[in-house]
């Protein structure tokens, strides 16, 4: 019998001991009966995102958890910036991180146009346009930030930035870094010139100047990344995939992989999200889908804040929401882990491994009874993120045999 799979990623879960918590990690300090139940009935260990000591992003780690080697498929920062703003990207598209900047007489005087955001949506719309075979879409993000997605034939990411990365210099002409980028560089320079013309004449910017504020009259682009020809989740893993995730970039990644994306009322993508609703939704989806990814972002948010007690409390809330997972081992395989560690003492992603547990009816418990950075390390597994899908598939009875 083939089982369904639920992979629950507690973002930035791993941590280091904190004096705020009597030298325990937030996970160790949390009252977590349900996580401990899974540990007591499952296979435990530590998981290195990508490989031991690699300090990775949520993007690369999730790709590899989903069975895609990021060394092969990671398209770079540009496409993920676009995904993060909720833009759709498709294989063959070229995407950039972008800034609205201030250009005075051909020189960039503020790379961030005073970090102004008001009106940027209008500016972005104004420079979202088609030119010949190419279409350009710009979306405004936080403050001065934006993303640009270019669609059209034979785009190449072998090109440089228009962002001079310093003030007091003119915007760079986009230059190919390889002859294969020649045509794309031309296309981009023509577009950026047109964008400059439109932005300079735009009502929003004229008003800003009138009010003595900095106009966003230059779109500086950087980190070109071409979206690779990436097989769909179903093509790659021969499963019908769903996700219950909050972060826009992760929804975008799942859409790119043609997984079904589900929203849950009250799910906010941060602390205080509807954890129970997300997990119940995932449990429901096991009847219609073979694989469900759940990401809960709140643990990472608390880690970036350096807030030990908050991270502990978030874990307690999530643990309470996990109650329904204990009764579905007859038809589902459950894995709980993190995508990386975000130690409160470091306030950023570290390269520490994260605890992992696999549970379904009929597996052998490896003598571990608690789920945390220390206890899980006495379990049987020392794996990388790229092994997770293979283990899930085989526990679900879904693997092909290699050989005979």
Residues that bind a copy of itself (CB under 8 A): 16-17, 25, 46, 50-61, 70, 74, 77, 80, 345-346, 348-353, 362-364, 366-367, 373-374, 377-383, 387-395, 397, 399-404
Residue recorded with tokens 């390390």: 377
The DSSP annotation for 202-257 comes to -HHHHHHHHTT-----EEEEEEEEEPP----HHHHHSS-EEEE---HHHHHHHHHT
CA 366 – CA 376 distance, rounded (Å):
10
Q: 375 CB contacts (<8 Å, ≥6 apart)?
A: 39, 44, 355, 368, 369
SS3 135: strand
Instruction: Tell the smallest beta-carbon distance from residue 347 to a copy of itself (Å).
Output: 11
By C-beta, is 103 or 299 nearer to a copy of itself? 299
By C-beta, is 310 or 389 nearer to a copy of itself? 389
CA 314 – CA 164 distance, rounded (Å):
42
Q: Could you give the count of Cα atoms lying within 13 Å of 24 in the half-sphere of its Cβ?
A: 13
Instruction: Tell the smallest beta-carbon distance from residue 404 to a copy of itself (Å).
Output: 4
Instruction: Tell the smallest beta-carbon distance from residue 1 to a copy of itself (Å).
Output: 10
By C-beta, is 17 or 215 nearer to a copy of itself? 17
Look at strands 332-337 and 354-359 and give their pairing.
antiparallel
By C-beta, is 172 or 373 nearer to a copy of itself? 373
By C-beta, is 296 or 344 nearer to a copy of itself? 344
Backbone angle region of 12, left / alpha / beta, with phi > 0 → left and psi within -120 to 50 → alpha? left
By C-beta, is 214 or 336 nearer to a copy of itself? 336
Instruction: Tell the smallest beta-carbon distance from residue 55 to a copy of itself (Å).
Output: 4
Instruction: Tell the smallest beta-carbon distance from residue 320 to a copy of itself (Å).
Output: 25
By C-beta, is 218 or 339 nearer to a copy of itself? 339
Query: Residue 145 has what DSSP assignment?
Result: E
How buried is 98 (Cβ within 10 angstroms: 0-12 exposed, 13-18 middle, 19+ buried)? buried
Look at strands 129-131 and 134-140 and give their pairing.
antiparallel
CA 50 – CA 35 distance, rounded (Å):
24
Q: What residues are paired with 97 via a beta bridge?
A: 147, 222
Instruction: Tell the smallest beta-carbon distance from residue 363 to a copy of itself (Å).
Output: 6
Question: Measuring CA to CA, which residue among 27, 73, 23 is closest to residue 50?
Answer: 73
By C-beta, is 74 or 371 nearer to a copy of itself? 74
Instruction: Tell the smallest beta-carbon distance from residue 118 to a copy of itself (Å).
Output: 26
By C-beta, is 220 or 393 nearer to a copy of itself? 393
Instruction: Tell the smallest beta-carbon distance from residue 76 to a copy of itself (Å).
Output: 9
By C-beta, is 199 or 383 nearer to a copy of itself? 383
Instruction: Tell the smallest beta-carbon distance from residue 389 to a copy of itself (Å).
Output: 8
Residue recorded with tokens 């948010």: 301
Instruction: Tell the smallest beta-carbon distance from residue 338 to a copy of itself (Å).
Output: 15
DSSP H helical ranges for 22-154: 26-29, 33-41, 58-65, 70-73, 77-84, 120-126
């Amino acid at each position: 019998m083939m089982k369904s799979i639920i992979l629950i990623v507690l973002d930035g879960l791993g941590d280091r001991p904190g004096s705020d918590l009597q030298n325990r990690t937030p996970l160790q300090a949390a009252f977590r009966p349900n996580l401990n139940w899974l540990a007591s009935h499952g296979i435990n260990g530590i998981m290195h995102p990508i490989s031991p000591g690699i300090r990775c992003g949520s993007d690369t780690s999730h790709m590899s958890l989903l069975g895609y080697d990021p060394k092969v498929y990671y398209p770079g920062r540009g496409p993920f910036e676009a995904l993060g703003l909720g833009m759709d990207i498709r294989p063959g598209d070229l995407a950039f991180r972008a800034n609205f900047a201030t250009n005075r007489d051909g020189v960039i005087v503020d790379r961030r146009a005073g970090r102004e955001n008001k009106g940027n949506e209008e500016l972005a719309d104004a420079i979202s346009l088609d030119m010949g075979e190419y279409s350009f879409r710009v979306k405004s993000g936080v403050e001065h930030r934006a993303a640009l997605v270019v669609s059209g034939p034979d785009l190449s990411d072998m090109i440089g930035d228009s962002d001079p990365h310093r003030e007091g210099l003119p915007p760079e002409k986009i230059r190919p870094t390889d002859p294969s980028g020649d045509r794309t560089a031309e296309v981009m320079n023509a577009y950026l010139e047109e964008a400059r013309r439109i932005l300079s004449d735009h009502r929003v910017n004229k008003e800003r100047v009138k009010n003595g504020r900095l106009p966003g009259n230059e779109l500086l682009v950087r980190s070109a990344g071409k979206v690779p020809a990436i097989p769909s989740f179903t093509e790659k893993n021969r499963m019908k995939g769903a996700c219950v995730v909050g972060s826009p970039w992760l929804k975008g990644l799942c859409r790119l992989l043609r997984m079904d994306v589900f929203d849950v009322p009250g799910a906010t993508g941060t602390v205080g999200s509807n954890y129970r609703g997300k997990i119940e939704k995932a449990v429901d989806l096991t009847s219609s889908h073979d694989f469900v990814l759940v990401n809960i972002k709140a643990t990472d948010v608390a880690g970036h804040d350096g807030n030990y007690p908050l991270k502990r409390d978030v874990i307690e809330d999530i643990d309470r929401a996990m109650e329904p997972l204990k009764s579905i081992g007859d038809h589902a395989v459950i894995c709980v882990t993190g995508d990386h560690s975000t130690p409160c003492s470091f306030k950023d992603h570290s390269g520490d491994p994260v605890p992992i547990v696999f549970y379904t009816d009929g597996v052998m418990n490896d003598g571990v009874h608690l789920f945390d950075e220390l206890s899980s390390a006495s379990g049987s597994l020392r794996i990388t993120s790229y092994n997770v899908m293979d283990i899930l598939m085989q526990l679900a009875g879904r693997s092909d045999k290699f050989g005979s």
